[in-house]
Amino acid sequence: MTQFLDPKTALAHLESYEQRDGLSAAQLMSSIKHGGLTYNDFLVLPGHIDFPASDVTTESRITRKVTLKTPFMSSPMDTVTEKEMAINMALLGGIGVIHHNQSAEDQAAMVRAVKRHENGFISDPVVFGPDDTVADVLDIKARLGFCGIPITDTGSLGGRLLGIVTSRDIQFHDPSIVLKEIMTTDLVTAPAGVTLAEANDLLRGCKKGKLPIIDTSGRLVSLLARSDLLKNQNFPLSSKSPESKQLYAAAAVGTRLSDRDRLVLLKEAGLDIVVLDSSQGNSIYQIEMIRWIKERWGDELQVIAGNVVTREQAAMLIQAGADGLRVGMGSGSICITQEVMAVGRPQATAVYQVAEFANQFGVPVIADGGIGNVGHIVKALAMGASAVMMGGLLAGTEEAPGEYFYHEGKRVKAYRGMGSIEAMEQRSVGAKAAPPSTIPSKSKGKSQVNGVNRTTATPVSDTGNAATARYFSETSSVKVAQGVSGDVQDKGSIHKFLPYLYTGLQHSLQDVGQRSVAALQQGVKDGVVRFELRTASAQVEGGVHGLHSYTKRLFA
């Protein structure tokens, strides 16, 4: 008769095995054994659950200095991220990177709108004087979305507070009416030096929409808004600067000399994070751009460099001063770089190899491309990414630019790669003529450009747009596409879709037995979190199969 081991010794017997079940990340990601892997090529093995999914924290760094409550970023594409996406991504705990296939002025206005959407103490409020008009207030409302404006004797911050103009004050009034005739003068104020908590308590107790902060002479020092109090309550995960309490703003720029002028405008508008947008980030242009930014602003402006897919690329940008790295080349759903250029790398392998190197220097990695579902997000984080950047996954939401239309009976929005011919042919409306950029020559001479030493170079006229610059195609008489145009199905509002991704991520980490993103990555490093390769038939088995028809609802 078969003799079985005592069940009480199961855990002790488990220790007799030479290694844990499954593969370590290093074993899984051996390019010599397995080649390059995508997210669909492997699974994370389950761990032990001793906590509810609601206990899982998804906090993660996206740069050396910036930490988000959720590891979600929207891509700087002209069919994905403009003002609405950037604001709502930040409110929901992520961050949206505003695209630069538009004029510098328009992009700066979007950055300014993000920064003004939520504040602690508003240290630079819009202020009018008593002789300004209703038309001026209507203009601010149209451009910035609010009209609760303090009135001072000088028309500027630091002037003596006279009153406030609200949306109710200007209703039914002729635009030519001066504000001193309609402003509200019955004000509740707080003294300079009041804490944010005390000011919030005072705002809760009164029925006013704005709380002016004044000094002992009655001069306006700053402002607090009731709407921001409500946002704090409704959006507890929101991505905010710990100092100003404003939403984080991120935007993309290119790496040509004209982009330096653009970046100055964006920084004046309040930019926190700049993403250097290039399909191949290991270039002299990007290295010099990073150095120039760091010399001018230091850590005040965080720089995410890229894109890269190898350690060698990453090393160049890290040494130049990058605060974060964007990883991915040809893995996006609308990208054909790998097909056309024969250059790139399967995304899971790229993320693992770059993150393993960059994390030793404290530089976070952002997995950009190839994210199609919650499972891909988890796998990217397990491979060492601190965040994921999403394009197609968010392009069909209400907050993405563009209008819905119907295609083959389905409600869709346009979505295109920045390497598509359509994106390359678009001109930035209102863009100023750009000064010449440069490419290195064989000369060993040096020259000064914006205060930075660089190799003497041959001028290159910047006649393209953000898309052509991203793919180094400004001077090409023939545009070679590295992306396609298409459409994506309606996903509703990100106010429903992003919480689905967040909750799905929590449940996935629970299945793996890890309470946080940091714990997941430490578990991978220690060999506790294990993986398994998937054959083609295993991938079929892991999806819906064997049904005549089905409905796939992702969340409710």
- Catalytic residue IDs: 335, 470
Of 497, 488, 503, 555, nearest to 80 (Cα)? 488
Those residues with Cβ within 8 angstroms of residue 395's Cβ, 6 or more apart along the chain or in another chain:
77, 79, 80, 413, 415, 488
Q: Are 282 and 308 in contact (CB under 8 A)?
A: yes
Q: H-helix or E-strand containing 449? A: strand 446-449
Residue carrying structure tokens 């488990």: 14
Q: What one-character DSSP code corresponds to residue 483?
A: B
Give the distance, in angstroms, between the CA of residue 436 and the centroid of all CA atoms in the same chain: 29
Of 408, 410, 488, 442, nearest to 75 (Cα)? 488
Task: Say if residue 40 is preceded by a cis peptide, omega within 30 of 0.
Answer: no
Rounded Cα distance, 189 and 162, in Å: 12
Backbone φ, ψ for residue 531 (5° rounding)? -135, 165
Those residues with Cβ within 8 angstroms of residue 478's Cβ, 6 or more apart along the chain or in another chain:
none
Of 312, 307, 343, nearest to 324 (Cα)? 307
Q: Are 502 and 510 in contact (CB under 8 A)?
A: no
Torsion of CA 325, 331, 336, 338, to 10 degrees: 80
Rounded Cα distance, 498 and 461, in Å: 41
Q: Are 537 and 407 in contact (CB under 8 A)?
A: no
Rounded to 10 deg, the angle between the 374-382 and 517-526 helix axes is 50
Of 123, 121, 125, 180, nearest to 153 (Cα)? 180
The maximal CA–CA distance of the chain, rounded, in angstroms, is 102
Rounded Cα distance, 116 and 338, in Å: 40
Number of Cβ within 10 Å of residue 513's Cβ equals 18
